[in-house]
Amino acid sequence: GQQLNQSPQSMFIQEGEDVSMNCTSSSIFNTWLWYKQDPGEGPVLLIALYKAGELTSNGRLTAQFGITRKDSFLNISASIPSDVGIYFCAGLVIQGAQKLVFGQGTRLTINP
Amino acid sequence: SQTIHQWPATLVQPVGSPLSLECTVEGTSNPNLYWYRQAAGRGLQLLFYSVGIGQISSEVPQNLSASRPQDRQFILSSKKLLLSDSGFYLCAWSVLTSRGYTFGSGTRLTVV
């Protein structure tokens, strides 16, 4: 099946630093989404991308849909303690029913 | 507004015991419903999805089953739990999958 390769798996940064993570795939996706999961909670949608080349911001978060439709990145500027969590990329698959394929996640830890 | 309820939040069950996790959605009709499992706080594995009452698709062979007795109710079950069934179980719904899923708050299952 289709898989998303998300990197890095973990990040340890200082508060105030910028963060960058990305997802790549061997398959084309028409929709990319980025989620954040706080400890013990379900993932929450951060940003959705629908067009190749699209660049979308949500506060300090910026995500882009790669031109090839096979990749996407998420940047977080000026990190703060509440940014801690696991970030997941997801691509939309249409095989019978529509489903999302998730990356393995990037665990972000911030040192104050 | 739409809400998703998932319970219980935590569950400790002995090996060989049955399981029933329930998920209900409010404020929407004909949602697509999903059960995911997350092991070790990382990747999300799709277990089952449903596009309508009584329609269940299984993604991976396993010791679990799912049912959708009502439009907005999705149940995850097992007749006899295994140690390997431990994990964090997440229910999710979508009406238009390209807009992403909305996840419940999850059930932490520990099989002892």
Residue B98 has pLDDT above 70, yes or no: no
Q: Which residue has the higher pLDDT, B104 or B61?
A: B104
Of how many residues is chain B composed?
A: 112
For chain A, 112 residues long, give each residue's pLDDT as a single digit of tens.
Answer: 567 999 999 999 999 999 999 999 998 998 999 999 998 899 999 999 999 999 999 999 999 999 999 999 999 999 999 999 999 999 988 776 678 889 999 999 998 7
Q: Which residues of B touch A30 (CB under 8 A)?
A: 98
Q: Do B44 and A86 touch (CB under 8 A)?
A: no
Amino acid at A83: D
Q: Establish if A102 touches chain B: CB-CB under 8 angstroms.
A: yes
Sequence-distant (≥ 6) Cβ neighbours of residue B27 within 8 angstroms: B1, B2, B3
Between B62 and B81, the higher pLDDT residue: B81
Amino acid in the structure at residue B81: L
A100 at the B interface (CB within 8 A)?
A: yes
CA distances to A28, B73, B87, B93 from B59, rounded to whole Å, are: 21, 19, 17, 16
Whole-angstrom Cα distance, residue A5 to residue A103? 6
- Chain A positions touching B107 (Cβ under 8 A) are none
Put simply, whether A32 touches B (Cβ < 8 Å) is no
Q: In Å, how far from its chain's centre is CA A10? A: 13
Minimum Cα–Cα distance from A104: chain B residue:
B43
Is residue A109 a contact partner of residue A13, using CB atoms and an 8 Å limit? yes
What is the reported pLDDT for B50? 94
Residues B43-76: pLDDT tens digits?
898 999 999 999 999 988 778 999 999 999 999 9
Does the structure show a pLDDT above 90 at B99?
no
What is the pLDDT, as a whole number, of residue B41? Answer: 60
Residues whose CB is less than 8 angstroms from the CB of residue A64 and which lie 6 or more positions away in sequence, other chains included: A49, A53, A54, A55, A56, A72, A73
- Residue B106 has its nearest CB partner, among A30, A42, A103, at A42
Contact between B109 and B13 (Cβ < 8 Å): yes
Q: The dihedral of CA A29, A32, A38, A42: what is its sign?
A: negative
Query: How large is the average pLDDT for residues B84-102?
Result: 87
